[in-house]
Amino acid sequence: MASHPTPLSNLPTTTMLGPKGDLAAAELAFFAPALLIGLYIVFRHGFTRQMGWVYIVILSILRIVGASATLNMAATNIASTALLETAAITSAVGTAPVLLALMGFLERINTGMEHKGVSRLAFRLLHLVSLAALVVAIIGGIDRMDSNASQVSTGQKLSETASMLFLGVYLALAGIALFGVANVRWILAGEKVLMRACVLAIPVLAVRIAYSIASAFANAGSVFYFGSVNVYAQAFMQFLPEAIVLVLFIVAGLMTPKMEKHQLYQGSRDVEGQKVEMISGPTQESGYAAPSYQQGARSQTPRSIGDYMPSRLIYNGVRGQK
């Protein structure tokens, strides 16, 4: 019995996602495992001091949600308002988690530098500015998706304001990173890998910040216009920089030793208005101890508050000269 060829109309068809759908699929393929690894690193290092990795998890969640919405629209050819808003807003607020992650790592490194580092007040102010920029970016993104022209105009102004705030935070963090490079001898041994990751991330983040600014100030018809960004601009100026930075931070998280609360200069206390290093600090094995040649100098340092009595100080001084 002769077989007849199946008409083309009866052959199963394969859904073509298009460039945006392909990019969304690539984002899902990257950020899904990044989320799992990020969760592992967060549980490994803890939630209290190492907040930088928490923002990696947040960024991964945002990108998974946005990519899922885009992929749904590409697969079904149905662009609902809710899905469009979800994809656009998650894209707009992605700058904040990356900067907050960098800020968290630099603050951790700075804490180990103690009095040689930047004032903690600087990090608190930058954190507040970043959160304010995040709120403004969310409101601006919602308004730019509105059908009312006045709301769209207001949303664009808010987006422009948020992008300038993000730029200011980025420049400040870049300055802090350069300060750390200039004072690298004061950085704890266990933080050196994390410091390298931060320094390498700075130029990559410049591309991401430029994309945010271009998207905020772009008008209708531009390749960066909000809600209809050119897929190649989005791929090479948003997705690629974020992926590179996340890889840097994830590798640093896996290589950086876990730091317990008592390991961060456990014996460092404020006594009579001065920072005094006690001898009960971290060990060399932990990766957070001072170099061995410095530990000998600590052998004569006070052990308790009682050692600050004048008689005890005189006694210790005489004994140390023998």
Q: What token pair was written down for 238? A: 């948003």
Residues 6+ apart with CB under 8 A from 48: 261
Residue 187 backbone dihedrals phi, psi, to 5 degrees: -80, 135
Q: What token pair was written down for 93? A: 């607020």
| pLDDT the model gives residue 28 | 95
CA separation for the pair 282, 234 (Å, rounded): 45
| pLDDT the model gives residue 316 | 58
Contact, 263 vs 244, CB < 8 A? no
C-alpha to C-alpha distances, 36 to 24, 94, 103, nearest whole angstrom: 18, 18, 22
Positions of the chain with pLDDT under 50: 1-3, 6-14, 262-288, 290-303, 305, 308, 321-322
Q: What token pair was written down for 220? A: 């209708």
CA separation for the pair 178, 115 (Å, rounded): 17
C-alpha to C-alpha distances, 256 to 56, 189, 190, 265, nearest whole angstrom: 16, 10, 6, 17
Instruction: Spell out the domain ranges in the chain.
Output: 18-259, 269-321
CA separation for the pair 192, 169 (Å, rounded): 23
| pLDDT the model gives residue 88 | 83
For residue 205, how many C-alpha atoms fall within 13 Å in the half-sphere facing its CB? Answer: 31
Please write the tens of the pLDDT for every residue from 251-264: 999 998 876 654 44
CA separation for the pair 273, 264 (Å, rounded): 20
Contact, 205 vs 241, CB < 8 A? yes
| pLDDT the model gives residue 317 | 55
CA separation for the pair 99, 174 (Å, rounded): 10
| pLDDT the model gives residue 216 | 93
Taking each helix axis from N to C end, the angle separating 240-255 and 18-45, rounded to the nearest 10 degrees, works out to 20
| pLDDT the model gives residue 77 | 80
Q: Give the architecture (CATH level 2) of 18-259.
A: Up-down Bundle (1.20)
Residues in the chain: 322
